[in-house]
Structure 1
Amino acid sequence: MQGCLLSVAPPPSCKQLDGRVQAQPHANRTSMSELHFSPRPNRASEIAWHPYSEATFSEAKSQAKPVLLAISAVWCHWCHVMDETTYSDPGIIKVINEQYVPVRVDNDQRPDVNARYNMGGWPTTALLTPEGELLHGGTYVPPDAMASVLRQISSFYSDPESRLALAKKILEVKTARAARSKTPTGGDIDPNTASSVFALLSSDFDDEYGGFGTDQKFPHVPALHFLLDYWQRTQDGRAQTIVQVSLRAMAGGGMYDRVDGGFFRYSTTRDFSVPHFEKMLEDLGGLMYACARAGAMFGDAALSAVARDVKRYLDAHLWNEEWGGYGGSQDADEEFYAQDSQGRAALAQPYVDRTLYTAWNAQAAAGLLLGAGLLSSDADTAAWSRTGELILNTLWDRLLVDGLLCRYYDGTPHVRGLLVDQAWALWAGLAAFSKTGNALWLARVGELLAAMEILYDADAHGYADRLTTQDDAGKVADVTVPFEENALMARVLLAYSAMTGDAKHVERAEAMLRRYSQTYQAYGSFAASYAAAALDLLDPPVDIHIVQAAGSRLSDELRVQALACATSAVRVDPIDARTGADRLQALGYAADNTVAYLCRGKACFARASTAAELAEALAVGKAASIG
């Protein structure tokens, strides 16, 4: 297996499938806050699971034992199957407890661990050296195969000469990996980035059934949003077709729950007829917003209705009233979801993970705040806005610790300083500023950006994926500069610069995008986030600077009109005349009248004093841009 230090016969019948499940506490554990096992009978808790920590790996080293790393998720079907089979086999339990140091990690709680060790699906089963290097790995491993692999690894590792030879190889591997992860390889930003990624997505689009590819299908939310961004600049009919057909196919097929609402995680079939039944906030917030955007852009009332229905599901099933945010997921339960509404009423609802995950809640909040203005109903608009701002207040109140946001909240905050959480919170904070005009949100964004300097690596021209700590172990100690999260950060920096006038943020965003300019196409459809950032740099949105004069309500009307513009890419920058005198002076705007200035970069092409004038100016500017 690529990346493994040892060549071990691959386990037969390995499955790379995943689904979702109920959480139960580990009866004998004191060092870990919570472990999740299958809700069905199993003996997985009899394994002496350790947390992923430096102390755990030091224990393995002192005992000269390999580490068994199990990465699971509360929603993962095959993780539960492995709990019920492999990890319930008495012989395997005995071997693991006696000859290994077992570690269990929840993917949702520790995406940094998963990013470094995932073997292609969940569960991930990775056998490691005490230094954290991979000896052998797979996904679901049945009992007989697991017993064989455990014997081979244990036999090899018990030999002192084998361990000595491994130590030399490990040093070589770690040195090479460190050099690769930090060395920028880019050059000038490709002016055809957006069109190149669009062409890639167009070629991967399934014209017959919608979606991407011809096998099992995931929603690819970032790709859908990039295509919507691309359409706003080009009015390309192919982009519209891909988005509308794909969203309608997902919403109209088996991948959508017509009783409770909400999209299932993915389709196991090309035609979206047979879903994998877990529901995940990670995708639902983005899909809700994609449907709202497409509905408004293309006059597609059906997709607008789907957006509302997704929020209905989120509020009814994932909302955590006690903590003020959405839970992370709801389990896959094929029997339950096969029922109609009457049949479901007689059954228990599938388990909901009530944990608040920062990035996923922030993404949902951004979708609610920006999507609110795209809906026709005033009641919907108000409800979406309230929920979005409430979620963000929860994140800042409950999960902000010493300037940086934590990964998740289960009564207390955990895992501080992951890049993905900071990036999505920043994006959502900017959305809240544009939607509400409340300068508090711009201030919070600025404070979080300043605190994030500890993550920025000037030599690598990017942000590290996590805050380093003394408890780092294995590959988690390696600095990585992740592609998609840095693309989102580039967009954040460009937008923040447009709303503050601070050019240094544009310079950093450009440097970050240059880092990947020669390699972005290798990421395939996952290059969509990068292409969206390149669009914001090379073909930026129209910046609508709204001067909010003291005592005027007109600014609210102008913000509403600006955010209702679906056909043009816009950034809305409300400037309070009472507190933003320096900003107004830098822009050359008067403070005595409420007015909206429409600009591309530093060049303004129109001004509007009413909502109607703003709508007309945007329409004219759009026509001129396309022409």
Structure 2
Amino acid sequence: MPNRLADATSPYLLQHADNPVDWFQWGDDAFAEARRRDVPILLSVGYAACHWCHVMAHESFEDERTAELMNQGFVNVKVDREERPDVDAVHMEATQAMTGQGGWPMTVFLTPGGAPFYCGTYFPRAHFQRLLLGVSQAWEQEREGVLEQGQRVVEALSGSRSIPAGPAPDADVLAAAVRGLSEGYDEANGGYGDAPKFPPSMLLEFLLRHHARTGAEQALHMAAGTARAMARGGMYDQIGGGFARYSVDAEWVVPHFEKMLYDNALLLRAYTHLWRSTGDGTARRVALETAEWMVSDLLTEQGGFASALDADSEGEEGRFYVWTPDRLRDVLGEDDGAWAAELFGVTDAGTFEHGSSVLQLRADPDDAQRYADVRAALLAARAERVPPARDDKIVAAWNGLAIAALAEAGALFERADLVHHARRAARLLVDVHHRGGRLVRTSRDGVAGAGAGVLEDYADVAEGLLALHAVTGEPEWVAVAGKLLETVLTRFPDGEGGFYDTADDAEALFSRPQDPTDNVTPSGRFAAAGALLGYAALTGSSRHREAAEAALSVAGVLAEKAPRFAGWGLAVAEARLAGPLEIAVVGPQGDPAAEALHRTALMAVNPGAVVTRGNGHDDGGIGLLRDRPLIGGAPAAYVCQGFTCRLPVTTPGELDEQLSGHAAVD
């Protein structure tokens, strides 16, 4: 049996390379083989850090009898959802339409022509074996009905699914969205909804921007309360830093232990911005610990950031992270062990499984030095355990999110090392993922994968590069962002002001994916709107601003019906209403006066403020720097809206006054 997964770039596919299942990678060969054999496709979709994917793999895909049934009756195709989000998206839509729910592993049976006719998620081995026999029997004996079912699904999902559009959200719509979020806010525990509870990363940014623009205390209350609750609970790794994917309960106690790059990048940025708005010490600590965890645990040799850490180690979910009172005493001794157990909520009964507990930090320690010593000792002891596996592929979109977060955290917390890592990741994306304005979705070990970039890749990478430019002043990043956004404007439009999630020359699936709503990351449409708006503010391009405003046309409708799924669009709408503010700082690199002005600009809490940095002589192709000279030979800052600028200032105090809104535009 040929091993068709052995040369995969996806660690998830490589995990299955030695299965007794005759796996194919997604592509024409698999469908040609299904037509030749006249059998259905069995499509299995998951990702490397997925706990239940591992369970189904051990139970079924490593089982000889199950593999025999799969090989006899089907052409079996394994897909990494992170490598092929387009394949995942259309089949997840079919799964949700057929079953009312979705998740991973996703199991989909397709006709040789690619039409899904039966879908599900995780199946225990006995159930899965019965299902395989049943589907094979139906294919042989009820072929016409199976084909008709597949055709109905394709027709239902191929029709127009556009959301009614309107104008970009105005101040009243944004205020109403905050009121709607208030009605669903968990006052006792922070966040929204019941278990499982996911970090509302994009909503945090919206709420912080809304408070910055309006002063609305409820918006800040929800953002700060949610951030505090997540940081206190078990979803946050109290000794290692970084956030798990979600909490299985409403109180943020027990995490689903996967640690994803995208969650941590988004939350790093949110906690950094919360600190910028409030000076909150916990927000600063969590932001820095999260950034340091990303660097220590996800940084690859090539300078990019790996996509995830697994939930499991040694075959058990969460084993790497949990503690008992006895284990604490073994590491710390009797007195410190008892103190740590009380501080971190480690009980004899346990908060997780088998009497073990996830560490929480519900109150600040009464002895900061003792806490630091205990935390260091526990971290060192934990390092002796078998760590979770790492999915070390580089996902372009998620690295774009990481670049933005690390660049801003590095600048605001005066950590040049974090800016350095943001720059290295950007260089990897430009050198390996980018060719002539086009992106590939993933790479591994410095080798580009085969999958084409999707809308979120272009948008999030552009956003990251613009944030990196704001911090470094390096014009290269704006030039590359412009090329990526040109591809967005020419290859992704839907003809109605929005965008498809795949380019017009991407592989044709049974439907072209298009989802304007946020999920665990910003929707591609809203991410594109944000990058387009920022680029317009830097360059003065009305074309890019108009495209951003058109892309926001569904945000108002979502704000009324489902604001929890439009957080990034609402955050971009806040920036649009605020201008966004454009701040150009000019002066020699390293000049103390110029650096002080630059830091003041970056500390601006005005929603979506756009910052650029020049030398006062050469605009570097950045429109906002054109005709922005030094003042009397001294560094200066120009505060503008729509390229209409206030009088330039030369001191941080004067700049801060303008940024605070005390000076009117001339």
TM-score interval w.r.t. the shorter chain? 0.7 to 0.9
Matched, 1:399 2:433: yes
Matched, 1:267 2:247: yes
Q: 1:621 to 1:427 in 2, by over 3 A?
A: farther
Q: 1:136 to 1:433 in 2, by over 3 A?
A: same
Letter of the 2:250 counterpart: R
Cα displacement string for residues 407-454 of structure 1 (whole angstroms, at most 9, x for unaligned residues): 111131112221111111100111112111122221121122223344
Q: Identify the residue that residue 229 of structure 2 maps to in structure 1.
A: 249
Q: Identify the residue that residue 660 of structure 2 maps to in structure 1.
A: 619
SS of 2:192's partner is coil
Give how far 1:34 is off.
Answer: 4.8
- Alpha-carbon distance in 2 for matches of 1:335, 1:601: 54
Q: Identify the residue that residue 344 of structure 1 maps to in structure 2.
A: 382
Greater shift in the superposed pair: 447-456 or 93-102: 447-456
2:422 equivalent among 361, 364, 388: 388
Matches within 5 A, 1:351-370: 351-370=389-408
Q: Identify the residue that residue 303 of structure 2 maps to in structure 1.
A: 324
- CA contact 2:116–2:153 (8 Å) conserved in 1: no
Give how far 1:546 is off.
Answer: 2.9
Matches within 5 A, 1:102-181: 102-118=76-92, 119=95, 120-159=102-141, 162-164=142-144, 167=147, 170=150, 173-175=153-155, 177-181=157-161
Give how far 1:346 is off.
Answer: 3.0
Identity of aligned residues (%): 29
Give how far 1:171 is off.
Answer: 5.1
The number of equivalent residue pairs is 587
Letter of the 2:293 counterpart: Y
Q: 1:55 to 1:248 in 2, by over 3 A?
A: same
Give how far 1:63 is off.
Answer: 2.6
Give how far 1:150 is off.
Answer: 2.0
1:497 equivalent among 536, 540, 563: 536
Q: 1:246 to 1:536 in 2, by over 3 A?
A: same
Give how far 1:309 is off.
Answer: 0.9
Give how far 1:363 is off.
Answer: 0.6
Letter of the 1:66 counterpart: P
- CA contact 1:38–1:83 (8 Å) conserved in 2: no
- Alpha-carbon distance in 2 for matches of 1:135, 1:545: 56
Matched, 1:445 2:475: no
> Structure 1: 5+ residue runs without aligned partners?
1-25
TM-score, normalization by structure 1? 0.86
- CA contact 2:169–2:552 (8 Å) conserved in 1: no
Q: 1:151 to 1:304 in 2, by over 3 A?
A: same
Q: Identify the residue that residue 36 of structure 2 maps to in structure 1.
A: 62
- CA contact 2:438–2:453 (8 Å) conserved in 1: yes
Letter of the 2:448 counterpart: P
- CA contact 1:64–1:158 (8 Å) conserved in 2: no
- Alpha-carbon distance in 2 for matches of 1:464, 1:100: 32
Letter of the 1:200 counterpart: G
Greater shift in the superposed pair: 598-607 or 309-318: 598-607
Q: Identify the residue that residue 226 of structure 1 maps to in structure 2.
A: 206
- CA contact 2:56–2:123 (8 Å) conserved in 1: yes
Greater shift in the superposed pair: 539-548 or 405-414: 539-548
Q: Identify the residue that residue 62 of structure 2 maps to in structure 1.
A: 88
Cα displacement string for residues 373-399 of structure 1 (whole angstroms, at most 9, x for unaligned residues): 332xx4x2x122222112111111121
Give how far 1:172 is off.
Answer: 5.8
Give how far 1:531 is off.
Answer: 1.0
Q: Identify the residue that residue 5 of structure 1 maps to in structure 2.
A: none
- Alpha-carbon distance in 1 for matches of 2:659, 2:226: 28
- Alpha-carbon distance in 2 for matches of 1:302, 1:550: 32
Q: Identify the residue that residue 613 of structure 2 maps to in structure 1.
A: 574
Q: Identify the residue that residue 434 of structure 1 maps to in structure 2.
A: 470
Q: Identify the residue that residue 36 of structure 1 maps to in structure 2.
A: 12
- Alpha-carbon distance in 1 for matches of 2:554, 2:233: 40
Letter of the 2:12 counterpart: H
1:598 equivalent among 623, 639, 659: 639
Q: Identify the residue that residue 164 of structure 2 maps to in structure 1.
A: 185
- Alpha-carbon distance in 2 for matches of 1:456, 1:591: 41
Greater shift in the superposed pair: 95-104 or 129-138: 129-138
Cα displacement string for residues 517-542 of structure 1 (whole angstroms, at most 9, x for unaligned residues): 44554444111111112222233332
SS of 2:440's partner is strand
Q: 1:335 to 1:444 in 2, by over 3 A?
A: same
Q: 1:399 to 1:214 in 2, by over 3 A?
A: same
Greater shift in the superposed pair: 441-450 or 600-609: 600-609
- Alpha-carbon distance in 2 for matches of 1:490, 1:112: 20
TM-score, normalization by structure 2? 0.81
Letter of the 1:539 counterpart: A
Q: Identify the residue that residue 10 of structure 1 maps to in structure 2.
A: none
- Alpha-carbon distance in 2 for matches of 1:350, 1:522: 39
- Alpha-carbon distance in 1 for matches of 2:299, 2:625: 43
- Alpha-carbon distance in 2 for matches of 1:371, 1:386: 11
- Alpha-carbon distance in 1 for matches of 2:271, 2:645: 31
Matched, 1:480 2:514: yes
Matched, 1:74 2:48: yes
- CA contact 1:200–1:525 (8 Å) conserved in 2: no
Measured on the aligned residues, the alpha-carbon RMSD in Å equals 3.0
Matched, 1:420 2:399: no
- Alpha-carbon distance in 1 for matches of 2:291, 2:622: 37
- CA contact 2:190–2:229 (8 Å) conserved in 1: yes
Q: 1:602 to 1:312 in 2, by over 3 A?
A: closer
Give how far 1:132 is off.
Answer: 2.5
SS of 1:180's partner is coil
Q: 1:432 to 1:154 in 2, by over 3 A?
A: same
- Alpha-carbon distance in 1 for matches of 2:254, 2:224: 20
- CA contact 1:596–1:607 (8 Å) conserved in 2: yes
- Alpha-carbon distance in 1 for matches of 2:147, 2:467: 50
- CA contact 2:34–2:40 (8 Å) conserved in 1: yes
- Alpha-carbon distance in 2 for matches of 1:288, 1:581: 30
SS of 1:325's partner is coil
- Alpha-carbon distance in 2 for matches of 1:423, 1:355: 19
1:537 equivalent among 572, 576, 584: 576
Matched, 1:45 2:80: no
Give how far 1:562 is off.
Answer: 0.4
Give how far 1:324 is off.
Answer: 0.7
> Structure 2: 5+ residue runs without aligned partners?
96-101, 313-317, 324-377, 518-522
- Alpha-carbon distance in 2 for matches of 1:551, 1:351: 42
- Alpha-carbon distance in 1 for matches of 2:143, 2:599: 66
Q: 1:175 to 1:591 in 2, by over 3 A?
A: farther
